[in-house]
Amino acid sequence: MSGGIDSTIAALMLHDEGYEVIGITMKTWDYADAGSSSGRKETGCCNLDSFNDARLAAVEHGFPHYVLDIREEFGGAVIDNFVEEYMAGRTPNPCVMCNTHIKWNALLKRADALDCEFIATGHYVNVREEKSRFVISKGVDETKDQSYVLWGLSQACLSRSVYPLGHLLKTQVRQMANDYGYPELAKKSESYEICFVPDNDYRNFLKKKVVGLEEEVSGGNFVLANGSIVGKHKGYPFYTIGQRKGLDIALGKPMYVTHIEPDTNTVTLGDEVELDKSEMTVARLNMIKYDTINDGQRSSTKIRYKTKGTLSTLFNENGKVKVLFDEPVKGIAPGQSAVFYEGDDVIGGGIIQSYPVT
């Protein structure tokens, strides 16, 4: 229970259905440690107001509530990975890492300690058992579907997971909050920020985590695809594939980051069309619907959370998956997640490793 509308309504629904519910709020990060550079009041999943909102709902409906401190595990598996990926010239997805390695494992440990059979969250997905496997499928509300960020969950986690909101629209959930007597919760805005970067300035966060980073990486070269140097940049970790704004360079036309080379502190710029790629390699795979990928298997593959999938063909390649897209996709970023779909079902997913560099 984060204190937000989705997890709160999920808990109240299960309570009304007769489940013995225990609310858990996970403390992942101290905002005081984040050091916002914006000066604004922090909001999100790890502040005291959110904890109190979750506890109040539990108390008013007569079920227990606990705060689970997972800051140490979160720091090691999520924050350290976040920094390491940017330092390697990749673009991480910390929410996927958190779901895969922290939240479900932490919840299952506490569930076992409390003799609970299932864990439940407010994610907009559905899970079913089919042919001895537990399959994630998209939530009914396409605008809220969160299957993309859950591709890393193990079969053991999925076998004990319940998602009450998977068959509902967000508008219905907001109405339920009103019906339960929580009009403020129904109007509560949603945060799309990284919880440990509350001012959404990951560059400032990196500078604070890596001592001397600016001095070490500033002054690298901006180059074009042909290798010609066109300017200097502030350091390769501060750029992401597809970035156009904030480059601080004028070349007479819009330019985009098309490649990042950490070994030489080089950032390649190009026209928007140079972001188009027809293939990529995906590693660190986790299978959901099937236990393996068959060569030539068809998929709708998503490379970002809010994008539609692109039809593609999958091939095994030395423990990884090579993805050939039917049509070019824009802005493939190593470090991000690739998720393979068959209709609404998640076949599996992994971390984008590479794409052809031209």
Question: Which amino acid does the sequence have at 12?
Answer: L
Using the structure block, give the residue that is written with the tokens 């999958």: 314
98 catalytically annotated:
yes
Cα–Cα distance, 348 to 338 (Å, whole number)? 9
Radius of gyration of the chain (CA): 22
What are the backbone angles phi and psi of residue 189, rounded to the nearest 5°?
Answer: -75, 155
**73 neighbors 102 (Cβ within 8 angstroms):** yes
Please pick, among 45, 46, 95, 98, the residue that the annotation labels catalytic: 98
| Helices and strands, number each (H, E), in the chain | 12, 16
Cα–Cα distance, 193 to 86 (Å, whole number)? 17
What are the backbone angles phi and psi of residue 228, rounded to the nearest 5°?
Answer: -70, 135
β-pair partners for 352: 282
Burial classification of residue 198, based on how many CB atoms lie within 10 Å of its CB (0-12 exposed, 13-18 middle, 19 or more buried): buried
Cα–Cα distance, 358 to 344 (Å, whole number)? 34
Cα–Cα distance, 235 to 214 (Å, whole number)? 7
195 catalytically annotated:
yes
Q: How many CB atoms lie within 10 A of CB 102?
A: 20
Using the structure block, give the residue that is written with the tokens 């076949």: 347
Q: How many CA atoms lie within 13 A of 37 on its CB side?
A: 10
Annotated catalytic residues are 98, 195
